[in-house]
């Protein structure tokens, strides 16, 4: 009897345990349901996720890019050691068209791009080794920029990305007189492959004393040969002291780019 009682008593706590477990699971499910509902509600209520989407996508793209580069490094270590890229480090991953930022190495692409993104002067700290994706939100639009490094190994990718470009921003160092013919050659090759892509030229480094002014840059790049069917704009830009406001001409350029990009979509 004692044992029987003991057994009965022993079963009771087990039942309790099962009941407790069931209760816990029910509660867990309810909490999870709540979380999902909460998520839906949050999404509906704030819409902030939408604004951050571009940033997240960009982050994902960078991560994928890193992973890919890592894998390529494993596959082809010898080539990487010699710093020679034989295949694109990044296939176009997104369907969205991007604003391409091209130009010779050192022209100031990254500096201009980061300054436009922050509305504050932000000098680049290192040459772009491959790709640099930047997302810029304006009041009523979201723009995706893709800079491709200007050093020789990366120039072969320029044309490859042109077909998915919304517009082309071509940056030149206005003080680098010796390399303006080279910049001109590349620019004309690029626009020759796409007859309608709008073109925005930044005659950068206008702060330097020896910089060609925009009329000279217009001539040096033979912009009169670009053709009347294409929208073409030329801005004299400068990225001077870190942290200072961007010059109004750069703000104007940014507004125009947003306008052109919206027209092209
Ligand atoms: N004085 C002056 N220097 C600038 C200006 N814009 C950029 N620089 C400097 O020029 C150098 C090259 O700038 P980047 O922005 O890295 O040039 P990039 O075109 O992105 O070069 P890659 O990534 O190698 O293709 C950096 O030292 C910048 O600080 C400018 O308007 N004026
Ligand atoms: Mg760069």
| Mean pLDDT within 106-125 | 94
Give the tens place of pLDDT for each residue, 185-196.
Answer: 999 999 999 888
Backbone CA torsion sign across 185, 186, 187, 193 = positive
Mean pLDDT over residues 193-200, rounded?
A: 92
Residue 9 has pLDDT above 80, yes or no: no
Identify the residue with better confidence: 187 or 10: 187
129 CA distance to ligand 1 centroid (A)? 14
CA torsion angle 77 78 81 86 (round to 10): -90
- Contact predicate 52/137, CB 8 Å: no
Backbone angles phi, psi at 92, to 5 degrees: -60, 115
Confidence check: pLDDT of 97 > 90: no
pTM, rounded to two decimals: 0.72
Pocket test for ligand 1, best of 110, 170, 243 (most atoms within 8 A of CB): 110
Which tens digits make up the pLDDT trace of 208-260?
A: 999 999 999 999 999 999 988 899 999 999 999 888 999 999 999 999 999 99
Token pair recorded at residue 204: 């950068």
For residue 170, give every residue at least 6 positions away whose Cβ sits within 8 Å of its Cβ, in sequence order, or none: 102, 103, 183, 187, 190, 199, 200, 201, 202
Ligand nearest to the CA of 115: 1
Per-residue pLDDT, 55? 55
Q: What is the residue with the minimal CA distance to atom 32 of ligand 1?
A: 205
Give me the phi and psi of 195, to 5 degrees please. Answer: -75, -15
């Amino acid at each position: 009897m004692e044992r029987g009682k003991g057994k009965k008593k022993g079963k009771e706590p087990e039942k309790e345990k099962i009941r407790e477990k069931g209760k816990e699971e029910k509660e867990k499910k309810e909490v999870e349901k709540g979380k999902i509902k909460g998520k839906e509600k949050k999404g509906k209520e704030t819409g902030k996720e939408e604004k951050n989407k571009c940033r997240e996508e960009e982050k994902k793209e960078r991560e994928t890019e890193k992973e890919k580069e890592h894998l390529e490094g494993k596959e082809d270590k010898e080539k990487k050691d010699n710093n020679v890229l034989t295949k694109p480090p990044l296939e176009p991953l997104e369907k969205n068209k991007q604003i391409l930022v091209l130009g010779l190495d050192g022209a100031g692409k990254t500096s201009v791009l980061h300054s436009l993104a922050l509305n504050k002067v932000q000098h680049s700290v290192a040459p772009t080794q491959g790709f640099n994706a930047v997302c810029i939100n304006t009041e009523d639009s979201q723009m995706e920029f893709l800079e491709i490094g200007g050093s020789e190994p990366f120039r072969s990718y320029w044309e490859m990305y042109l077909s998915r470009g919304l517009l082309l921003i071509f940056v030149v160092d206005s003080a680098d007189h010796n390399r303006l013919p080279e910049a001109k050659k590349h620019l004309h090759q690029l626009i020759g492959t796409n007859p309608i892509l709008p073109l925005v030229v930044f005659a950068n480094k206008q702060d330097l004393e020896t910089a060609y002014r925009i009329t000279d840059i217009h001539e040096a790049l033979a912009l009169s040969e670009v053709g009347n069917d294409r929208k073409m704009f030329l801005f004299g830009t400068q990225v001077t002291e870190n942290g200072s406001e961007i010059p109004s001409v750069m703000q104007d350029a940014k507004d125009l780019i947003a306008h052109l990009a919206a027209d092209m979509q």
